[in-house]
Structures are given as C-alpha cells and as structure tokens.
C-alpha cells in the first residue's frame, strides 16, 4: 500500500475514533433550576456541573434533552448518559451510577400566618400536605401517607403554593431549590416560610447502561470529588439558591 494511502487511512481511522468517542449527555426537562429547557436547550444546575466536569475531563460530548421516560429508555439501550437520576433497586439492575452529583432536599413550605415546627413525621399528623402527583418524598413520608397519618392534595407547584396561601393545605413538600424558584416567580416570598429540617434527602447521579462505560464513571467520580472539595461546586450551587 502506498505511503500516502497508509497515512490517509490512519487519519480516517483516527477521525472515526474521535467521532465514536463523543459521549451523549441526556438531560430531561424537570423542575427549574435543577434541570430544564430554554429554546429546546438544556439549562440548570445539573447541566452546569456535568458539562464543566466533562470539559475538564477533556471528553468530547453532545447534549440532548428528552422527556424523562425516554431519557431513561435511551440509557437502558446504551444510547447515552442520563443526567440527574435517582437510584432505585430496579434501575440498579440495568444501570451503573456515578457518585452523588447533588443531594436534593425535600422540605416543607408553610404559610407564615400559620406556622408549625417539623422535627418528625408525627408533627404532620392530622394535617393536609400538598404534593406533586406521582412523586415520592422518601420512605418515611410515603409510609406515613399510606397509614393515613395526614391527608394529601396534589397539583403543580404554583397550585400547591396557592393552596397553602389560601389555607386549604398546611404545607407543600417540594425540593428546596425548585420551591424557592417558584416562590420568586409567583412573588410570594412574604407569605411563605421554608422549614429547615428536610422531609427527605435524595441523591442524584449520572448513570450509564450497566457494564458499558465503567472507566468513564470512574474518571467522572475522580473529577467530581475534586470539584466538590475545591469550592467550584459551592460556587455553582450559590447561583441557584
């Protein structure tokens, strides 16, 4: 084979490998400011953290945004890396997870005119708690709900805050950062208090199809640990407080 052809073949192989090496980061439009879309482009805390780390890792990537169920299905099929996902026993059979990307704190938002304290689930007995339909707020909350220790009503975030303001719910349980974002959007900061004790702390991860990309996960974990200890994680998080 002529030397020029050999060189051209080598360049094409190198180029092909570079294309294949690009990772697909799969974001979903969840609750601002954690993961959401503007003009069909992913935005938010998870986007800022993960793209910063992949840039630092010098790993080529492209980003897509999908509804959550499709994002999960794509990951099961090995078509990318899902960003900002909870770990469950069922998912763990099919996915490999990174270290915790972010600890999500579910807290109680209450009416300032009708305050109460929250130290344990027993403090919710007899109350009406607004929730988002289909959401879980940890085993302790879900079990107390099943025992009918309190009643629940459900709606989107804005409706649930209105229920609290109008006195039709004693509290609304939501992730702290999205809750604060909604309060600002509605202009109701003067009417709502955020109770300090979390109802639940849920860890969020990136995940890949099981057995397909363990080296990348290890690489990501190393950079994530440095990122969380050198102040950069706190600086990004502060933008969304």
The residue extents of the domains of the chain are 19-102+202-238, 105-201
* Predicted confidence band of residue 11 (pLDDT cuts 50, 70, 90): very low
Domains 19-102+202-238 and 105-201 belong to one CATH topology: yes
Say if residue 17 is preceded by a cis peptide, omega within 30 of 0.
no
Q: pLDDT by residue (tens digit) across 26-81?
A: 999 878 999 999 988 899 999 999 999 999 999 999 999 999 999 999 999 999 99
Least Cα distance to 85 among 209, 233, 180, 219 occurs for 209
- Map tokens 């440095």 to a residue: 226
CATH numeric code, 105-201? 3.40.190.10
Query: pLDDT tens across 134-161, in order?
Result: 888 999 999 999 999 999 999 999 999 9
Closest to 228 (Cα-Cα) out of 102, 106, 104: 102
Share of the chain above pLDDT 90, in %: 84
107 touches 193 (CB < 8 A): no
Q: Using 50, 70 and 90 to split pLDDT, how confident is the model at 200?
A: very high
Q: What pLDDT sits at residue 31?
A: 82
Pairing of strands 128-131, 81-85: unpaired
Q: Which helix (H) or strand (E) holds 96?
A: strand 95-97
The mean pLDDT value for 175-204 works out to: 96
- Per-residue pLDDT at 21: 66
Give the least confident one: 1-10, 110-119, 181-190: 1-10
pTM assigned to the model: 0.83
CA 211 – CA 190 distance, rounded (Å): 50
- Give residues with Cβ within 8 angstroms of 227, minimum separation 6: 49, 52, 53, 56, 233
pLDDT at 130: 98
* Calpha distance 122→105 (Å, rounded): 19
| Residue found by looking up tokens 């929250």 in the block | 118
Q: Which CATH class is domain 19-102+202-238?
A: alpha beta
């Amino acid at each position: 084979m002529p030397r020029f052809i050999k060189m051209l073949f080598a360049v094409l192989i190198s180029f092909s490998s570079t294309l294949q090496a690009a990772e697909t980061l799969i974001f979903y439009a969840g609750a601002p400011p954690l993961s959401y879309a503007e003009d069909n482009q992913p935005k938010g805390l998870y986007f800022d953290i993960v793209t910063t780390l992949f840039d630092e890792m010098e790993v080529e990537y492209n980003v897509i945004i999908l509804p959550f169920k499709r994002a999960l299905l794509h990951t099961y099929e090995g078509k990318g890396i899902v960003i900002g996902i909870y770990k469950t026993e069922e998912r763990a059979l099919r996915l490999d997870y990174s270290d915790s990307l972010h600890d999500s704190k579910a807290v109680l938002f209450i009416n300032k005119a009708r305050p109460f304290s929250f130290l344990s689930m027993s403090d919710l007995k007899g109350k009406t708690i607004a929730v988002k339909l289909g959401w879980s707020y940890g085993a302790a909350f879900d079990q107390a709900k099943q025992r009918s220790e309190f009643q629940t009503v459900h709606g989107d975030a804005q409706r649930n805050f209105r229920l609290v303001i109008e006195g039709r719910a004693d509290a609304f349980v939501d992730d702290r950062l999205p809750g604060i974002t909604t309060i600002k959007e509605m202009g109701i900061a003067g009417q709502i208090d955020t109770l300090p004790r979390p109802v639940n702390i849920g860890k969020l991860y990136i995940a890949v199809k099981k057995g397909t990309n363990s080296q990348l996960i290890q690489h990501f974990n190393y950079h994530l640990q440095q990122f969380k200890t050198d102040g950069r994680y706190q600086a990004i998080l502060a933008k969304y407080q």
